[in-house]
Homo-oligomer: A and B are copies of this chain.
Amino acid sequence: MSRAKYLTGDKEGIEEFLARFDTFLFDCDGVLWSGDHMFPGTKETLEMLRAKDKRLVFVTNNSTKSRADYKKKFDKMGIPSDVEEVFGSAYSAAIYVSRILKLPSPKNKVYVLGEAGIETELDSENVPHIGGTDPSLRRDITQADFDGLADGSLLDPDVGVVLSGLDFHVNYLKLAHAFTYLRKGAVFLATNTDSTLPMSHTLFLGAGAIGSPLVTAYGKDPVALGKPSQAMMDAIEGKFKLDRNRTCMVGDRLNTDIQFGIEGGLGGTLLVLTGVTQKEEIMGEDKVVVPSVYVDKLGDLLG
């Protein structure tokens, strides 16, 4: 595997690279910003790409936000965007349930471990759901819960899917519901399986970590609908009718973003070093996942 080309400061190399693509798929957290901190040059870089008539798609594994929520985030950060440019893992999961899984109603109800973003996107695809932000589940588990889950009296017989995403309000009660539905035969889906979440300039626990109690207890992995799952790439291609050869994936993670682009057969991948991946991780001949090019930060594309 050849080494990635370093483009920071290489004006000519940048020009040449950008000219190879019509579409840029962007990871957001760790690429454009970290939490509420925008990286320098982000806005100007996106403007430069738009000025060159590039199509931009913001592909995020963050399942806590709906596409509309994400649009608000762009607005708040002062970055012009359109809600149709946003493609999140919650939306990807909703599409998977409604258009691919297509369980017969009423046995198509989804038990959600996650935040409002998932619920909004399930609603947009008319998929019934329980769990999620239900305030009655934000409490300690009781003996009555253990008994009622064990004898089935607390279970909704229409639940056919457990969808696990990032839940900042995770607790034992919610996990026990999800685990019991899985044991009863529900299909196991995850919006994404990122182990960590870049926030406040450091890392916290990601959706893959929060859902891992279910994986450990149930002993089976979910079907993941976020990067690097090619189910998400197929959905993006279907929606945007893109030419994979002339599409570049931009991200900060080798094992999600860059792998997503490589496995999807895209024309190129660009790694930024403002997120999870450190420079050392792409050096050396023995690396398996290597981006086409890398820069210290996205803004370095301004040359």
Task: List 12 contacting pairs A-B, 8 Å CB cutoff, sorted by A.
Answer: A146-B199, A147-B200, A169-B172, A170-B172, A171-B171, A172-B210, A195-B217, A195-B219, A209-B212, A210-B213, A212-B212, A212-B213
In Å, the complex CA distance between A217 and B149 comes to: 29
Residue A150 lies at the interface, judged by CB distance under 8 Å to chain B: yes
What mask results when residues 205 to 229 of chain A are scored 1 for a CB within 8 Å of chain B, else 0? Answer: 1101110111111010000000000
List residues of chain B with CB within 8 A of the CB of A167. 172
The complex is assembled from copies of this chain, and their number is: 2
The one of B151, B195, B216 in contact with A195, judged by C-beta atoms closer than 8 angstroms, is B216
Bound: A204/B172 CA distance, A = 10
Query: Interface 1/0s, chain A 173-199, versus B by CB < 8 A?
Result: 001100110010000000000011001
Residues of B within 8 A of A213 (CB): 205, 209-210, 212-213
Closest residue of B by beta carbon distance from A173 = B168
* Given A168-B141, A212-B212, A215-B212, also A176-B150 (CB < 8 A): no
Query: A205 — which chain B residues lie within 8 A by C-beta?
Result: 172, 175-176, 179, 213, 216-217
A140 CB-CB contact with B under 8 Å: yes
- Measured CB to CB, the residues of A under 8 A from B are 35, 140-141, 146-147, 149-151, 167-172, 175-176, 179-180, 183, 195-196, 199-206, 208-210, 212-217, 219
A298 to B170, CA, bound (A): 37
Docked CA distance A66–B146 (Å): 22
When distances are taken between beta carbons in the complex, the residues of chain B under 8 Å from A201 are: 150
> Given B150, B168, B195, B215, which contacts A200 in the complex, CB threshold below 8 Å?
B150
